[in-house]
Structure 1
Amino acid sequence: MFAGHNFQLVALSVAIAITGGYTGFGLAARVRGTRRSRRMLLAGAAGLLAVSIWTMHFVGMLAAPIPTDAVYLVLPTIVSFLICALVVGVSLFFVSIGPDSNPRIAASALLLGLGIVSMHYVGVHGLAGNFAVEHDIRFVLLAGAIAVGAGYGGLRIFLARHGGTRLLLSAVAFGIAVSGMHYTAMLGMRFVPGGHAHMAMDGGLSASPQVLAPIVALLCFLIVASFLLFLVPEPRLQSLPAMASGPSGRELDDPGLADIDGRDRHANVVQPLPLGGLGQPRPARAGKVPVEVPDGTQLIDAAEIRSIRANAHYTYVHDGARERLSPWSISQAEAALDAEIFVRVHRSHIVAVQHVTLIRKEGDGAVVELGGLSPHRVPVSRAKIAEVKARLGLLHGISR
């Protein structure tokens, strides 16, 4: 069935899946990093992903050598989009409300993958004409497996809150996987003239490929426009970290921070640059970090910070003497601080390498001790042990 495809449209369908995946998962990744507009971000991400997957499917159908008398039944075509939108939205919501457990992610990926492949076959059977459509069950199963794999990878992007180059590479992989599912399914499909013909003469609304083409073109424009808008850096988000380089001990009260674009200080203040910052100047690193004090928000020198810890929706900064709440998320702190000094040793912990006084093996991972008036210990995940050892100049194991 793949022979006879228009390869320009095939390439366009893959590009749509990639750009839609980049924008959709880029929005979705912000859901877990913000305390405001979560529903709007989630709805926007789900809607854009659904539109991009559905549009990719129909661009692929326009690229296929379908019979000349084929038309698209309107009801199955609309239902195919609703299936896609529903499963994407439910999957993103399901993984956004609880812990990142493997069973939860696997169940969401299964739902998402089955929804994507269902959208494909419902859309295919929206074709009507003097023919019947037959499928090779082997390719149906393979397409389903690819769809579930694409869903799992996409949800991992969402949970990892990737940005910049990593998000771009992940979106490329996702786009290739989704389009690969489509063309795998098409490879196992064939049209049988006559026979049990799937006719559109039963009074149902139908549309020819010539009518569908401008609709798909409009959706392509929407996806590309959303992608380009997503690439535009937000000046407020880029400039706020620089505010942290003011005089030591300066306090920022709540009203002052709330006046910035009408948003409160808990809004995201650091976002990764689009496309890994290509064509953008390297952002300045924050010299100070905000922490809460009884009468406002105080800025402390980054050089005084020993560690940063995330606990649910809260972030705590330890300066060697005490631990205080910060309005930044741990991801914002990681993006704003100097990566030569601060390293994320665990999904919930960042440490200043220069203040590490002890490292030792503990279970599958390790722990480091940070010096100061009140020394404290921070866990290191197994995946980060080698990096921490290298940063500390330890080449031959960990002391016990």
Structure 2
Amino acid sequence: MFAGHNPYLVALSVAIAVLGGYTGFGLAARVRGASGARRRLLLAGAAGFLAVGIWTMHFIGVMAAPIPADATYLVLPTIVSFLICALVVGVSLFFVSVGEPSDGRVTASALLMGGGIVSMHYVGIHGLAGSFNIEHEHAMVVLAALIAVGAAYGGLRIFLARHVGRRLALSAVAFGLAVSGMHYTAMFGMHFRSAPELAHAAGGLVASPQVLALVVSLLCFVLAAGFLLFLVPEPRRREAPDMATADDGELPMSATDMLVAGAFATSNGHPLRPGQRVAAAPLGGLGQPRPVPASRMPVEGADGIHFIDVADVRGVRADAHYTLVHDGTRERMSPWSISEAETQLDPDLFLRVHRSHIVAIPHVSLVRKEGDGAVVELDGPAPHRVPVSRVKIAELKARLGLAGRKAHPPTGREY
């Protein structure tokens, strides 16, 4: 049964599953950083592309199988199979996109999605009509269900991790192989038994394999178009210049810098030449009181915004116009931008070591040179590492009391 599959259609079904996973989870990765109507559109688009990818892969796999020549497709079960897939995928993504999902909620969503994918498969299979009966091996049904739940759990973890670039591509390949593996495992345990008495027993609207092939071809085109559109980069919003975003050591001049420069020029009696800059005075300079650092940081929870003690914060990572806060155990989304976090956090305890990263100096447990920059490890139950840009190495070493120190002779590296 399994050996008689068309290898080209099998390869196409796997490719379609991968494309659907890449586009769907790529859109889903943007859901948690969006709000309002855009959030709903992204969630609907992610669920739609995942459902279309899974469902199209399924029916390409059915067409690849050596099914009886007189087989036709009942329209109602075929449509219902797609609706099941779209519903469970959409609901599962919604459950884990609200607030900070717990492991229990992710597991429950994976069970729902996996069960829905398996249901879609068997409802679609029993939409086949002809002079035959379909039988299934129970062991293969159970194994297919386990693979579907595993694929769903991995897919939801991809969604929560918000993979991009190469990691998203690798995750999509793994997801496509898992979903395809579920389908072909179930097909391996399926057998047709001749039943001539059922030749004209099919009731309701039916579609020929040619009609289904046209529908599947159209959906393949939709998936390919969505994949290509997803690869088009989004226009980047213009943001206020940020003192710590430049890795070349040149600091952009903000409105505050201009005011400070004007005061400096006036106090010294020398006007600035065009393009000339002066060092920006630290906050609290020029007679200004130093702002009081925040003692708590807001993070998103399942039921709203929570606040965590800044003493528990190990690092802050930029994520679009929001940030991800690591508390030593996990990352949680914060409505603060990376620039706002740098402004609000105590500069005596925190240092922006990269345009996308802020670290808590007291929690640095390891630092080592890597390429032109460096890497630091932050302590906690789940230690994690953060890159340090080249222009921030000297400041970081000074803050850690390492200025002027060299490495042991065997390594030849600093620190």
Q: TM-score, normalised by structure 2?
A: 0.65
Distance 1:232 1:307, change over 3 A: farther
The change in CA–CA distance for 1:385 and 1:22 in structure 2 (over 3 A counts) is closer
Partner of 1:291: none
Match of 2:253 among 243, 247, 254: 247
Give the structure 1 partner of residue 59 of structure 2.
58
Cα 1:46–1:334 change in 2 (3 A) is: closer
Which residue of structure 1 lines up, in the alignment, with residue 87 of structure 2? Answer: 86
Shift of 1:191: 0.6
In structure 2, distance between residues paired with 1:223 and 1:112 = 20
For structure 1, which runs of at least 5 residues remain unmatched after alignment? 252-304, 317-327, 336-341, 367-378, 396-400
| Residues 343 and 352, structure 1, Cα contact 8 Å, conserved in 2 | no
Moved more, 344-353 or 70-79: 344-353
Query: Where in structure 1 do 4 or more consecutive aligned residues deviate above 6 Å?
Result: 305-308, 313-316, 342-345, 386-389, 391-395
Over 3 Å counting, the alpha-carbon distance change for 1:343 and 1:151 in structure 2 is closer
| In structure 2, C-alpha distance between the alignment counterparts of 1:202 and 1:165, rounded to whole Å | 48
Partner Cα separation in structure 2 for residue 94 and residue 219 of structure 1: 27
Q: Residue deviations 1:128-173, cap 9 Å, x none?
A: 0001101000000000000000100111111112211111111111
Q: 1:73 & 1:200 partners in 2: Cα distance?
A: 13
1:4 aligns with 2:8: no
Letter in 2 for 1:332: A
- 1:33 alignment partner AA: G
Report deviation, 1:314. Answer: 7.7
Q: Secondary structure at the match of 1:138?
A: helix
Find the residue that maps to 1:162 and give its secondary structure. Answer: coil
Measure, in 1, the Cα distance between the counterparts of 2:305 and 2:75: 48
- Is contact 1:91-1:112 (8 Å) kept? yes
Identity %: 59
Cα deviation digits, residues 54-107 of structure 1 (max 9, x gap): 000000011111000000010100010010011011111111124221110000
2:320 corresponds to: 332
The corresponding residue for 1:258 is none
Call closer, same or farther: CA 1:233–1:168 in 2, change over 3 Å: same
Rounded Cα–Cα distance in structure 2 between residues aligned with 1:194 and 1:74: 21
Is residue 33–residue 322 contact of structure 2 (8 Å, CA) maintained in 1?
A: no
- Of 379-388 and 106-115, more deviation after overlay is shown by 379-388
Report the Cα distance in structure 1 between the residues aligned to 2:256 and 2:9, rounded to whole angstroms.
58
Task: Please provide the CA RMSD for this pair.
Answer: 3.9
Moved more, 159-168 or 148-157: 159-168
The aligned runs of 1:165-184 (5 Å cut-off) are 165-184=166-185
User: What residue number does 2:193 align with?
Assistant: 192
1:113 equivalent to 2:114? Answer yes
CA shift for structure 1 position 53: 0.5
Q: Distance in 2 between matches of 1:201 and 1:99?
A: 51
Distance 2:361 2:212 in 1: 66
Aligned residue pair count: 309
TM-superposed deviation, 1:344:
9.5
Read off the aligned partner of 1:384 and give its amino acid letter. Answer: P
In structure 1, give the amino acid aligned to 2:254. Answer: S
Residue 18 of structure 2 is aligned to residue 18 of structure 1: yes
1:388 and 1:220 map into 2 onto residues whose CA distance is 40
Distance in 2 separating the partners of 1:203 and 1:63: 25
2: CA distance, partners of 1:249 / 1:309: 26
Is 2:2–2:65's contact at 8 Å kept on the other side of the alignment? Answer: yes
Give the match for residue 159 of structure 2. Answer: 158
Tell me the TM-score normalised to structure 1 length.
0.68
Please give the per-residue CA displacement for 1:264-291, whole angstroms capped at 9, x wherever unaligned.
Answer: xxxxxxxxxxxxxxxxxxxxxxxxxxxx
**Are residues 353 and 31 of structure 1, via their aligned partners in 2, closer, same or farther at CA, if it must alter by over 3 Å?**
closer
Over 3 Å counting, the alpha-carbon distance change for 1:202 and 1:68 in structure 2 is: closer
- Please say which structure displays the higher CA radius of gyration: 2
Pair 1:353–1:185, CA change in 2 (3 A): same
